[in-house]
Amino acid sequence: MNLKRFSFFSRIEYPGGYRAFSMIEVLIAMVFLATVIIGIGNMNYMSNKSAMDSYYEFLGLQLAQEPIEIFRVFGYKWLSTYGQSHSLPDYPLDSWQPVSSSVMGGIQYPPEASLFQRKISLKPINGKIKAIRIKVQVAPKEQNRIKIWLSQSDISMEGIVCETPK
């Protein structure tokens, strides 16, 4: 008795020597290929989503770090009176403002930066050393493509500007 003749996945031999696959073999191969193609498509989608999330998160971190660095340059004395006697038009305090290219003309952003908004808050810290805590929150404006791709609802960064020792 030839067991190969009764095998489930053997090719069918027709008279005249023609050989062919059975319908069940073709269906199993199609299911296998469809599963592989869906897996590859899902992997591609997740890779793209991860790359876009990383890009927008990096851009949000840069937009949050910028006012902190600018305020550090001016120092504690200048920052302690910020918003009372002077302020920079691009950095209003305690309200969500859209990020736009600098009025002063020095800072240029990528086009996607206009889809973000940021909120800057200052809080004095009194103790042995006087300091001001700068907190910057960056979030996507309304419903846009950044809100879809970004995995976080907002990005926060904080910094401290201390009074220089006497």
Q: Which of 26-35, 70-79, 106-115, 125-134 has the least mean pLDDT?
A: 106-115
Residue matched to tokens 């290219």? 101
Report the Cα 159 to chain-centroid distance in Å: 22
d(CA 99, CA 111): 10
pLDDT at 16 over 60: yes
Please state the separation of Cα 116 from the chain's center in Å: 12
- Token pair 């949050």 in the structure block, residue: 64
Q: Give the DSSP H/E element, type plus range, for residue 61.
A: helix 23-74
> Cα angle at 83 between 77 and 89, to 5 degrees?
110
Residue 40 has what pLDDT? 96
pTM assigned to the model: 0.73
Token code pair at residue 100: 């736009």
Residue 88 pLDDT > 60? yes
